[in-house]
Structure formats: C-alpha cells, structure tokens
Chain A
Amino acid sequence: MRKKWLKWGVFVFLTICMFLLWHYSAWGAEATPAHTSAWYKWPLILFCFAFIIGIIAPMTGVGGGVLFVPVSTALFPFNVDFVRGAGLVLALTSALSSAPTYIKKNLANFRITIPILMISSLSSIIGGILGLWISNAFPQGKYYITTALGLVLFLIFVVMVTSKKVEFPEVKEMDSISKKLRLGGAWFEPSLNKVVRYKATRFLWGLLGFVGAGFIAGMFGLGAGWANVPVLNLVMGLPLKVAIATSMVIIAVNDAAAAWIYLAKGAVLPIIVVPSVLGVTIGARIGARIAHKAKPTFLKYLVLGILLLAAVMDVVKGLKGLGII
C-alpha cells in the first residue's frame, strides 16, 4: 500500500516539477524563430536528447519514438509536423534494425504479420494523411494535433500501467481464420533449452486493435509497440517474445508506408532526423549493455513519469494555443 502511494507521489512530483520548468522556461513559450547564427547548437542538443532517450528506452521496453515525439513537441521550438516526421523515421530505423534478426530467429513470422499488415498499414497511411491535413488546413491545426497527442499519451500511460504481460499465454482453441491461415510457429528458446510452439487465436479482435494502433502510429509519428504487443500477447495469445518480435516487423512496414506521406510533404528534415537517429542508435547500444545493472522498476516509473508529464505539457500547450486556457 505504502509502495503504491510512493509510486503515485513520484508521478505527481515529477509532473509538477517539469510543468513548472516548462512554464517558466523559454522552451515552453510560444514557438518563435530561433537565432540563425546559433543553428549549429541544435544538432548537438538533439543528439544529446536522443542519446538519453536511446539509453532509457531499451531498459524499459518503450520504443524511442514514443518518448521522442511527445517530449520534443512539448519542449522544442520546431513544428509538430517535423517532430512527427522525425519520430516516424526514428521508429522506422529501430524496427528495421531489429526485425531481420527476429525473423531469422523464427520469432517473427509472416504467417501472422501479413494478414495484420493488410489492415494496419492502410490505417497508418490514413493516419499520416489526416494528421498532416489537420495541422496544415486549419489555422490552429497544430494545436489540435498537440492536444490530441497529449490525450493519446494518457492512453499509452494507462495501457502501460494496467496491462499485464503473459510470457506463455495458453491458447486452448484456435479460431477458424487462424486455423485456416495456420497462424502459429515454433522457435528454439535457449533459456528453456527446447523448442517452444505457439498458435494464435481471436484473429478478428486482434485485427480491430491494429486498426487503432496503425492509425495512431501514422498520425502522431509514434512507434506502436505499446499497443501492438498487448494485442498480440493478450488478445491473440502469442508468447511475449513472439509478440515483441512480430510487433517490430509490423512497425517496420507501417512506419515505412507512413514515412512516404511525410517525405512527400517535406516534413522530414535531415537537421532533426540525422542527429536524433544517431543519438538514439548509439544510446540504445549503451542502454542495452547497462540494462541488467539498472533497477528496472525505478526506470519504469521514470518513463511513466516522463510520459505523464509530456501528456500534461502537450495538452496544456495545445489548449493554450487554441485559446481555451
């Protein structure tokens, strides 16, 4: 009971601290043109920022994009269009780097991925088109997007706090579609020293979950691992390792499709993308090495605190821009 209060105390404290910091800092002020002569400091700032995200993300199982987009939107002066473009490329590079390894280990499987991709890639593209249309077609469009992003972060926060992962879910009976498509597989699990077999179920329910996950990924430039993994694991009954691996392949294809929408709109700027990708990639390698030494519970609370804080900051920034508060 005491631990629970402590946990929520940390959340509230972090939120208040960061809100005050944001409120009184120049970053939190309305975005204004940056000083032209000092442009060279930005790649460095972005690299350091992404580097820290890269270290934290793998230790807590959160994708880099999920932290990068909301925190950048809340803190940095560049437009939310460019933040989403960069976030999408960030999530894409992470997914592309890990997906081939997962497939070769037989943890990710096309028998399961391709039917899901038919729906999720379409919703991801629609999300990308709609997101850019809203921010460009309406005078206050970017504030609608910022507010919506804050609300999505609340959703991610709730999902992360409440969802319980099951390492080996028990699938008693496959549904007819999963059976027809032979949605299952096997991989060699070194920790058990044996071949683990799995099969999927509730295919249509899973598909419904991916419509929403793909849409959010495309619209906000977030990787959708936070949604994909619970759907694959808890709804479709795939083992946790398979769910994570399959989610990476789904993210790789969805984000690649949505990235074209942002590229064609000129919303991908190398000055933001290159230092961010480098920072996250290098940071992730270090993060993976020190993960076993770090205290995962503390880090999880830290990330949850950052997410909650970014959610509050984005909602406040959006509502301020809309003149509501």
Chain B
Amino acid sequence: MTAQEKVQHLDDGYFDWEPESGEAPQPEPMNLIFAKVMEILTYVGMIVMVVFGAAYLFGIKPFIHPSVVVSNWHLEADKFWTLIKGHPIRGYYFFKHLNTMDCLSLLGISTLAIAPFVSMLFSFFKADKTYKIFFLIVMAIFMFAILKPILLTNLGGGH
C-alpha cells in the first residue's frame, strides 16, 4: 500500500467544514493566538530563568547560598525549609525576595508555569460558545492550582 493510498480513507466521510485554503490548512484563530502568546512567554521565562540562575550559580546575591542547599537537599522539602528558614514553605516566598538571584530565577520558572494560562486567556475571546465554557473550566482548575497554597492553609497555605 502506497503512502497515498494509506491516507485515502482519511479523505472519505470528512466533516462538512473544509479548510478554506487549498494546500495548507490554516490553524483556527483560537489556536493561533494561543501559540503566539505561549511562544513569547516561553522566551521571556527561559531567559529570566537561565540568566539569573547562572548569576546565582556564580554566587551573586543568593537568597540561600548554593552550599547550604547542597548540604541539605537530601531532606524532604518541608524539613529542608524548616532547617533553613525555621518553617516549611507554604506559598510563593520568592516573590518577596526578588532582589536575590535564585528568587529571580524562580520568577522565570513561574513565567513558564503561567504561560499556558495566559495563552488560554487570550484564546478564550476567539473561541465559540461551547469552547468558551471549556476554557473557563480549565482556567478555573489552573487558578485553583495557583491559589490553593495561599487560600487553603490546612492543605498547604499560609506563611
């Protein structure tokens, strides 16, 4: 069976909606805007993470000195932070210490972690009614992941 024949069955009984252009079908606007926003935020996040992370590894203005991290990183996260800062971490401590290189590097990682949410937010306005509802549900789940440590103290909030 040739490659052409292999895909022949895919041409049968296709949807009534056809790609408008002939050879290369264009992505829907909600897909396109998602990709563009995600691309920009990924570049920004990667640059911030790597540049400040490298500065941290050269020992420039750390929140926790790398030697302290290395000597305690065998501990669980809660014990690690209790030993170093006196209490387990429950929230986004690094936002309060953006004058240090490791916290700035974590800001870059947060930018990467928020990229899909922001991209969905932009795509939302280009989506049809059904997909607007889907977007809202996914964004609500995402918001829960972000806000949970701040709002639900007993399940990991506080400090």
Residues of A within 8 A of B (CB): 31-40, 42-43, 77-79, 81-82, 89, 92-93, 96-97, 99-101, 103-104, 106, 108-111, 114-115, 117-118, 121-122, 125, 128-129, 132, 135-136, 141-142, 167-168, 170, 181-182, 184-189, 191-192, 194-199, 239, 252-253, 256-261, 263-275, 277-278
Contacts and interface: CB of A to CB of B under 8 A. Distances in A.
Contacts of B134: 114-115, 118
Given A261-B156, A265-B149, 17 more contacts: A34-B70, A79-B73, A101-B35, A109-B31, A142-B76, A184-B15, A185-B25, A192-B4, A195-B24, A196-B7, A199-B15, A256-B142, A267-B77, A270-B49, A271-B66, A273-B109, A274-B57
7 contacts: A38-B70, A103-B34, A118-B137, A136-B76, A170-B10, A266-B81, A271-B102
Interface in B12-65: 14-15, 17, 19, 23-28, 30-32, 34-36, 38-39, 42, 45-46, 49-50, 53-54, 56-57
Given A103-B32, A252-B38, A121 B11 contact: no
Contacts of A121: 138, 141-142, 145
B33 to A, nearest CB: 10
Nearest to A122: B141
A101 B38 CA distance: 10
Contact of B148 (A188, A256, A264): A264
B6 interface: yes
B71 A197 contact: no
B34 to A, nearest CB: 6
Given A136-B76, A182-B15, A256-B114, A268 B109 contact: yes
Contacts of A118: 134, 137-138, 141
Interface of B: 3-4, 6-7, 9-11, 14-15, 17, 19, 23-28, 30-32, 34-36, 38-39, 42, 45-46, 49-50, 53-54, 56-57, 66-81, 88-94, 102, 105-106, 109-110, 112-117, 120, 123, 127, 130-131, 134-135, 137-138, 141-142, 144-146, 148-150, 155-156
A264 B89 contact: yes
A317 B142 CA distance: 34
A115 B28 CA distance: 16
Contact of A99 (B24, B38, B131): B38
A260 B146 contact: yes
A195 B131 contact: no
B24 A270 contact: no
Contact of A270 (B39, B102, B146): B102
